[in-house]
Each structure stands twice: as structure tokens, then as C-alpha cells.
Structure 1
């Protein structure tokens, strides 16, 4: 047999049947991840990864852009997220394995594309976990100050370049999350469910208090900046919905995944959207739009104004601390599962794919992720990297939507637990919205992202291409254009 061409090597696809069989084989022999999560725990992963710092701050920038019509901006952002969520739901029900959009790209668009997506996800999850940990440190300091009048010295609560020597609370948070994840997926999922209940309760507490001071006059004029203002605000609000894709990283740890994964993705989106809209409507109703601009800890300020007391700020700060803990936990979980899938395919060293026989979790990979995220959170000011998180996320979202259409064309008979309604309009719209948001990112973000992909290309050429498990298969499979079950 002749050796496959370079193009065939770069775009070799992993059959869906192989992906699914590997997951089932590992679990059946006690060598892989354990299927222990149900629909509530899985939906809580999506909610936990999504409702984080965004909703506590976004109104101070979004209301000045859109006015009271910010409620429409939330709805528009939710529609954008829903388009992608529906695409995720179809692929997750068709390919119920770990790895999220990395695995989906491997089955539909080929190895080199999947590898690039894997690096995008590493960027999304790794950098965002570190950035969120830094935000947690700030809230912890605020909570300590509000409750016992003590603040950690700046030298121990800020990174070099941000006025300190090390961000110790951020490192503590990453360590605690790693301990939970090493303990087992069931324990981590239960802890996350508890934190999700707390964060939703805190936000509903805000909604109840804010509605007690509701003034319909605050909605006039409704859209002072017109449609353009609504669109601009929707772009910034969209990133409050990032995190729903974390559900799909748990494909190998869910009972009845073809049914549970779509339910959890759609369920998490519905809960997040309802909570966000309630917060937006109640906040605008309780405070004139002109007062939002530049308002720090805006939700706490609104509660303080409504009640005339300071204790609501303490409640909001405590809720934020719990909320951000949950986000960090789920994001680190997603990172370890994506690296697990890449390691199993030979794309990265086997360290990340080794599963502890007793805990049934990738212990060494989790420790490696914790060290990486902890170093970033503790030692690096991350403000300039935030847009990179958005870039990585939007690229991954785009690939998922393309993957739905490719898989429908080349493997129409695959069993699907969920089908995107309104196909092909929904995935096409999802791609269009993602490209629109990508185009709005800064030039420096594009330059840094190009550098990141250049590093990925070097690592792929020098390691992943020759260590790929598909390289050891037959020439026919390596050069196949059909990703369906074989």
C-alpha cells in the first residue's frame, strides 16, 4: 500500500463509530471515565459555567449602550447562544464522548482542524479559568472587608504588574477546585449543584428586592440609541452566555447521553436566559438608566439604594464568591476532559489521558491543569487576554455549527438523539452571528490568536502528526473521506 498524501494525513477523520466505541470500551473495562451524572447534575454544569461574573457587572456597560432596551439585547444575545446550543445538542447526542467541539471536528472536518479547535478550547478554558480566579480574589477581599473589616495585603492578592507579588486567593481557589475534581466527578457535580442553587437564589433575591421598587417610568425613553445601541449591547452581553458548551465536555460521564446531553444543554440555556432577563428587567425598573454608567458592583448598589441598608451588598458579594467558585470548577473540569480526549488520540502526551482506577478521574491531567491555571492566576495580569478567551470560544462555536452540516451530508443515517430544528437555517445563522462577533474583536486579539495558532502548528508538525493514533490505522482509513460508522 502507498503512504497517504500529506493532505490525507492532515484531514484524516476519526469515524463516529470509533469515537463512540472507544468511550464505551474504556468505561466497560474500568479504564475510562465513569458514567455517573444525570440530567440535573449535567444541566448544572452548564449553568455553573455560564452564570458567573458577567451578570454581576454587565449592566453597567450594557445599559449605557442600549438604555432600557437592554432587555432586548439580552434576548438577542440569548437567541445567538441558542442557535449554537442547538447545534451542540445535535452533535452531543450523535457523538456522546469527551472532548466537546474537538471531538466533533475530528469526526467531521479532519485531524488538523480538530487539533486547532483543541488549542482554541485550551485557550478558552485555561485563560478564562485563570481570569475568573483573579475576579474571585477581588470578591473575597470585598467580602472580608464588608463583614470583618479586614483586607488581604495587596502584595498577596495581586499579580506582579498589578501591584502585588502573587495572587494567593486565586491560587487557593484553583487548588480547591482541583481537589474536588480529583475526588471524583460525582462529588464535583454534587458540589456544583449546591453552588448553582446558591447563585440562582442570590440573583432571585436581587430580583425580588428590586421589583419592590419597580418604576415603569424608568423604561422611558425605551431605546434612546435605537437598534444600533441594542445590537452593540448584545455583543457585550453575549459573553455572559459563554460556558454552555461545558455540558458537551461530559459526554462520557453521563447516563443515557443521547437523551441527557440535549436536554441538559437546552435546559441550561432556558434557566440562564430566564434569570438574566429577570435581573435585567428588575434592575432597570428599580433604577434610572442614566445611573448605570460607571457603576461598580451595580447590583449591590441597587439593593443598597432600595433597602437603605448595607447588608444586601454582603449577600451579593457572598453570592459572587460562590458563583465564581462554581465557574472555575466547571471550566477546569471541561479543560481536563478536552485534554483527556486529545491525549487518547495521541495529539498530546499520555499524561493527560491516564485515568485513576479507583477515582475514575484523570488525576495527573487535573494536577497539570491546576498548576498551569494556578500559575497564570497567581502571577500574570490577565486583562489583555480576556478577548482571546472570546476568540477561542467563537471559533469553536463556528466549527460546531459547520460540523452539524458536514455530518448531516456525509453520514445522514447516524442515530441522533436530537436534531437541529429549522435545518440548515439555524447552523447557518449561528455561523453568521459568530463571524459577526469575531469581526468586532481588536487587532491585537487577532495578532495574539495568530501567534497561538502558529505555536499549535509547530507542535502538531513536530509531535501530534506522528503520534496520532489514526496514523497506525490502514492507509484506506487514514485517507477516507467518510466519517460515518464503519
Structure 2
């Protein structure tokens, strides 16, 4: 007969923390290779963010807030900015892969880290699928404008979409291409992503310039038709597009000089993202009444350019640019998902298959195949509208945990070397928690219900597997 476990021992297991160690060299056979510099890492953040939302989120956000959607972008940007400062400090203090999961493990304990992992895996997996779904709309728009060929609806939409199809085949193809790139190596993926980011920013700059030629201030007359509640609701939807800031922190094991590189890349990405988002939002709303955004296709920015210029040429250029650049969003988000799972596998929270590194490519090949297979299925059969809020709730929860982690680590280990410290401490992390919390409470109750069920399922996985196979448990045995 086994002796019942003492409550204090169980509590100690659940709250055990992973020691903070210096960064690895990246030269070991089971380690990821350090090849990514500041510019490429900043491009990761920009690549995963600009495009994730701005190319197609306006059709969802503007009907919620009206022209005040501009304030929704600012609100989401303030929350992201406060959180980015906290991320920058945590990334410099805990310079490893795994993002918020690793930060929570080092500051708040094992069971909290697993709850955060549930948020991250939901955030990254759903985001990759959602972006792949949006990519299909731009691909079809580009094909129609260039060749006159329109893809059949049967292969453009999920069975449960508003305009149902059978399977979203272009989304599956996109995920497959990203899988091949990620298996080849992180440095190759980073170089290609940097090129796609340059294309993306050039295309959005073109949109802003052309849209401002048709700017009409009267479109802002009924500025906030749904009041502050509408602004907050739209901000919750828009926050879906700030996932890229978190993606920067998933690359800790593959970045050169991570304690300096990661904070710099985060802040560069933040500045570029907020600037482009606000410019695109202001110029887009200025071109047409806010009511026209509702029901607009997922290639909405292309439609706006077609309406402004009376020609399909510029809309086609933007659609082609979106096809190329949204590729980078999917690539980086899938990369982030695999690196979070890699960290969890290395910690014993998941089976070892997730932490195995190919001796030839120095990438987690099996991990990547599993992730891309799941995301491809999600993109193929689940419509975009049912995905966006789940990404927002996962992102906001992760941001809150990082902000709390900064406070905890400052109190627990004040002398820990940090390449960056949050200015205005403790006001900034407290404000970050409050702003993110305000956006969280505006999300629909169904989103909360699905989210709670997912976290509960993940904690059950921890109880059945992670708690017993934890690397820390083996070390302390």
C-alpha cells in the first residue's frame, strides 16, 4: 500500500522552479545552433505581426468600433508596448527558447508554466491556422486579377464557413511549404523571412500613400458609434495581430548574444509594428464609410485600392504582396510553436520526440512535422471567424504572466544579470497587467469557455505525464 503524498510535498512539486542558467553555446549535438542576429530577429517579430492582422482584421474590427477602431489599434499597441518592455527584461534575464513558458517556469513554478504553455500553444497553433486561412483569400484575389482564373469555392473554405466549401487547400499547401523551410534550418528561414518582411512593408507603404489620396474626413464623423465598449471589443480582436512580439522570445536558443540581441529586436519590432498599423488603419477608414467594412472579403485592403483607383492594378500588387508576406507570418508563428514544444520536451513536460534535434540540420524535425500536420488540419476545416478571439485570449494571458514574472524575479533575484531593465518599474509591469486585463474582460464568454476547457485539458496532461517525467523531478530524485 502506497503512503499518501503529503500536501506540502505535492505543493512543492507543483511550484518547483527551473534554475536560471547561462545561455548554452549552441555547439552540442542536442542543442540548436546560434545563427540569428538582431536584424533577423527583429524581422521575425515584424514578420509574425505586420500582416497577421492588418491585411484582413479590419473587416472584423471596424464593425465593432466604427472609425474609433484607430483608438482600438492604439489601445492594443499600448498594451503590447508595455508588455514588450517586460518581455525585453525577461528575455535578457532568462535567454532560452520557450518564451513565456520558460519565463513562468523560472519565476512562478511548474504548474503555472504548464498553464501558460496551454495559452501559448493555443495562441500559436490557432494563429498559424488563421493566417493560412486569410492567405487563401489573397491568393485567390491575385489569381483572378492576374489570370482571370478563380479557384473553386470547394477548395477555398472550410465546411462550416459562412460560404462553405470542402477543404481550404491553399492553406494546407502554405503550411506544407513552411514545414519544408523550417526543417532545412533556422538561418535559411530567417533570411527568407527578412526578404518577405521588406516586401510586406513596401506593399503597406504603397497602400497608405494611395489610400490617403482618397482620404475623406467625413468618414470619421460618427467616430465612436458603439462607445468605449466597442473600442475595447475591437482592441481584443486586434490584439490577435500582436503575437509577433511573443514570437521573438521563442528563439532564445538560436540567437547570438541573446541577452543583448533579444531586447533590442523586441523594441525595434514594436516600433515598426505600431507605426504601420496606425497608418494603415487611419488611411483605410478615411477612404470609405465604416459600415462598408462589414462583410468585406478577407482581401479587404485590395478591394479598397481597387475602389480608390478605379483599377485592379494596385489592388493586384497589394494582393500579390500579401500572398508573399503573409507567408512570413505563418513561417515565424510555426517556428515559434516548434521552439516552445522543444523547450517543453527538453524539460520533460512532453515526450522526448519534441526535443530531438536532427544531427544534419540541427532542427527539431519530428516536432516540426507534428506541429505542421495539426495546424494544416485546423486551417483546412475551421473558418477564420471562429479562431481570432482564441488567439487574443492566449496572447493577453501570456503578456500578463510575463509582466508578473518581471516583478517576481526583481524581488527574488535582484542581482541577476539583465541586459535590459524595464523603465519606470514597477509602474510599467503593473500597467501592463491592468491594460491587458481590461481587454481580456471584453472578450465573449464563449471564448472564455473554450479557453478554460483547453487549459483544463492541458493541466490534466501535466497531472498524467509532465509531473512524473519532469527533468527537475529526475534531478531531485
> For residues 281-430 of structure 1, what are the structure 2 equivalents within 5 Å?
281-289=282-290, 291-296=292-297, 297-381=299-383, 383-430=385-432
How far apart are 1:375 and its partner, in Å?
A: 1.9
How far apart are 1:66 and its partner, in Å?
A: 4.7
- 2:101–2:113: 8 Å Cα contact kept in structure 1? yes
Classify the secondary structure of the residue corresponding to 1:391.
Answer: helix
How far apart are 1:231 and its partner, in Å?
A: 4.2
How far apart are 1:71 and its partner, in Å?
A: 3.2
Q: How many angstroms apart in 2 are the aligned matches of 1:428 and 1:73? A: 20
Report the TM-score, using the length of structure 1 for normalisation.
0.90
Q: Which residue of 2 aligns with 1:275?
A: 276
Q: Which residue of 2 aligns with 1:85?
A: 84
- Is 1:15 the counterpart of 2:19? The answer is yes
Gaps (5+ residues) in structure 1?
Answer: 476-486
- 1:53–1:320: 8 Å Cα contact kept in structure 2? no
- Is 1:140 the counterpart of 2:144? The answer is no
Q: Which residue of 1 aligns with 2:249?
A: 248
> Are residues 293 and 379 of structure 1, via their aligned partners in 2, closer, same or farther at CA, if it must alter by over 3 Å?
closer
Q: Which residue of 1 aligns with 2:9?
A: 5
CA shift digits 1:161-201 (9 cap, x unpaired): 44333322111111100100011111000111111111111
CA shift digits 1:200-259 (9 cap, x unpaired): 111001111122334455554655666555444434333332321100000111111111
Q: Which residue of 2 aligns with 1:121?
A: 120
> For residues 182-261 of structure 1, what are the structure 2 equivalents within 5 Å?
182-216=183-217, 218-220=219-221, 230-261=231-262
> Are residues 61 and 157 of structure 1, via their aligned partners in 2, closer, same or farther at CA, if it must alter by over 3 Å?
closer
> Are residues 209 and 94 of structure 1, via their aligned partners in 2, closer, same or farther at CA, if it must alter by over 3 Å?
same
Q: How many angstroms apart in 2 are the aligned matches of 1:392 and 1:290? A: 29
Classify the secondary structure of the residue corresponding to 1:458.
Answer: helix
Q: Which residue of 2 aligns with 1:38?
A: 37
- 1:53–1:323: 8 Å Cα contact kept in structure 2? no
Gaps (5+ residues) in structure 2?
Answer: none
How far apart are 1:68 and its partner, in Å?
A: 4.3
- 1:345–1:468: 8 Å Cα contact kept in structure 2? yes
* More divergent stretch after superposition (445-454 vs 393-402): 445-454
- 1:38–1:255: 8 Å Cα contact kept in structure 2? yes
> Are residues 389 and 309 of structure 1, via their aligned partners in 2, closer, same or farther at CA, if it must alter by over 3 Å?
same
Q: How many residues align?
A: 469
Q: How many angstroms apart in 2 are the aligned matches of 1:327 and 1:450? A: 27
> Are residues 284 and 34 of structure 1, via their aligned partners in 2, closer, same or farther at CA, if it must alter by over 3 Å?
same
> Are residues 44 and 307 of structure 1, via their aligned partners in 2, closer, same or farther at CA, if it must alter by over 3 Å?
same
Classify the secondary structure of the residue corresponding to 1:29.
Answer: coil
CA shift digits 1:99-127 (9 cap, x unpaired): 00000000000001101111211111112
How far apart are 1:454 and its partner, in Å?
A: 2.0
- 1:157–1:168: 8 Å Cα contact kept in structure 2? yes
CA shift digits 1:62-107 (9 cap, x unpaired): 4455554443332222111101111111000111100000000000
Q: Which residue of 2 aligns with 1:482?
A: none
Q: Which residue of 2 aligns with 1:478?
A: none
Q: How many angstroms apart in 1 are the aligned matches of 2:402 and 2:50? A: 22
Q: How many angstroms apart in 1 are the aligned matches of 2:151 and 2:57? A: 26
Q: How many angstroms apart in 2 are the aligned matches of 1:275 and 1:169? A: 27
Classify the secondary structure of the residue corresponding to 1:240.
Answer: helix
- 1:145–1:151: 8 Å Cα contact kept in structure 2? yes
Q: How many angstroms apart in 1 are the aligned matches of 2:292 and 2:376? A: 37
* More divergent stretch after superposition (55-64 vs 300-309): 55-64
Q: How many angstroms apart in 2 are the aligned matches of 1:445 and 1:120? A: 13
Indicate the RMSD between aligned Cα atoms, in angstroms: 2.2
Q: Which residue of 1 aligns with 2:57?
A: 58
How far apart are 1:369 and its partner, in Å?
A: 0.8
Q: Which residue of 1 aligns with 2:178?
A: 177
Classify the secondary structure of the residue corresponding to 1:24.
Answer: coil
> Are residues 116 and 269 of structure 1, via their aligned partners in 2, closer, same or farther at CA, if it must alter by over 3 Å?
same
Classify the secondary structure of the residue corresponding to 1:309.
Answer: coil
Classify the secondary structure of the residue corresponding to 1:373.
Answer: helix
